[in-house]
């Protein structure tokens, strides 16, 4: 995908940077039975109505597209790569050759329409987009959509991947996108390659209104609040280190011991 920057004919697009999606399929409404209603994240509890996640609410309606992230053996052909408004990565529309049905899954970087994808335990070619157990993949390989249990749970956002760094007879150590080393079973599944849309981090929203379209509400500094709303409130700069609204230190626990007066 190509990065483009608009000409500054208005203040809202002066710093706007986005990705051209002209290579993606325009048939996003294909097979509407896999699109279930819409999702709107308000950041509140569905039972009590209290705020559970700050700075969330409003935004445009976004249709939810169900993805197939299971490890059932399949042989499919990628028919289209589409944009998903609820995900940072692209999704691919695949046609299952065995069941003669369509399904959606996360798109792999470098995999386009017409590519044959397989998922299984044996006789799987090690190429981009194929999904197999980690014991079939050599050390140092790059994969995404790690499944521990039933569905894929790790390395699913745009451009992410995990790497196999060590293997034993029944387990292997992997490096997650966060840098954390995790030991998992050799029978865990992963998809070869990285998740599509690796340039997602280069996007610049450009104006505050576009953040509101995405359901992101303004963030207010604690020092601009009243003392009843935040520990930093009251327009006093000194007195205590930086803390969260709940009083937890934001820069880690102090490690330097204070000198005691004798």
pLDDT, tens digit (0-9, with 9 covering 90-100), for 166-192: 998 889 999 999 999 999 999 899 999
| Same domain flag for 181 and 64 | yes
Task: Give a yes or no: residue 195 inside a domain.
Answer: yes
Which residue positions in the chain have pLDDT lower than 50? none
Give the model's pLDDT for residue 254. 76
| 47 occurs within a structural domain | yes
The answer as to whether 219 is a domain residue is: no
Give me the pLDDT at residue 144, please. 93
In a domain, 261, yes or no: no
Burial of 198 (C-beta count, 10 Å sphere; 0-12/13-18/19+): middle
| Domain identity same for 38 and 123 | yes
Same domain for 176 and 125: yes
pLDDT for 207: 92
pLDDT of residue 85: 84
Give the Cα separation of 48 and 66 in Å (integer): 27
Tell whether 31 is covered by a domain: yes
Question: Which range marks the domain in which residue 148 is found?
Answer: 24-201
Please give the tally of structural domains in the chain: 2
Q: What is the pLDDT of residue 78?
A: 92
* pLDDT for 34: 64
Predicted pLDDT of residue 238? 64
Residue 9 lies in a domain: no
Q: Is residue 214 part of a domain?
A: no
Give residues with Cβ within 8 angstroms of 92, minimum separation 6.
78, 80, 81, 82, 104, 105, 106, 107, 108, 111
Q: Is residue 160 part of a domain?
A: yes
Residues 118 and 163 in one domain: yes
In this structure, the answer to whether residues 103 and 229 fall within a common structural domain is: no
What is the rounded average pLDDT for all residues in the chain?
87
């Amino acid at each position: 995908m190509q990065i483009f920057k608009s000409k500054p004919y208005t203040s809202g697009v002066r710093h706007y940077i986005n990705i051209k999606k002209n290579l993606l399929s325009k048939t996003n409404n294909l097979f509407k039975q896999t699109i279930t209603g819409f999702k709107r994240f308000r950041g509140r509890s569905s039972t009590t109505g209290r705020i559970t996640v700050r700075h969330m609410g409003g935004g445009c309606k976004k249709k939810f597209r169900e993805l197939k992230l299971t490890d059932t053996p399949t042989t499919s052909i990628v028919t289209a790569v589409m944009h998903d408004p609820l995900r940072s990565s692209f999704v691919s529309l695949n046609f299952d050759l065995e069941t003669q049905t369509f399904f959606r899954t996360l798109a792999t970087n470098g995999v386009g329409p017409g590519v044959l994808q397989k998922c299984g335990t044996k006789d799987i070619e090690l190429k981009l987009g194929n999904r197999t157990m980690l014991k079939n993949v050599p050390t140092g390989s790059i994969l995404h959509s790690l499944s521990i249990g039933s569905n894929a749970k790790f390395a699913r956002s745009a451009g992410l991947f995990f790497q196999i760094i060590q293997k034993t007879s029944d387990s292997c150590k992997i490096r997650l996108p966060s840098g954390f080393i995790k030991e998992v079973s050799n029978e865990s599944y992963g998809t070869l390659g990285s998740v599509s849309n690796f340039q997602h981090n280069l996007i610049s929203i450009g104006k505050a209104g576009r953040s509101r379209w995405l359901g992101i509400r303004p963030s207010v500094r604690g020092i601009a609040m009243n003392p009843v709303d935040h520990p930093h409130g009251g327009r006093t700069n000194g007195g205590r280190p930086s803390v969260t609204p709940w009083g937890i230190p934001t820069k880690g626990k102090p490690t330097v011991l204070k000198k005691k007066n004798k």
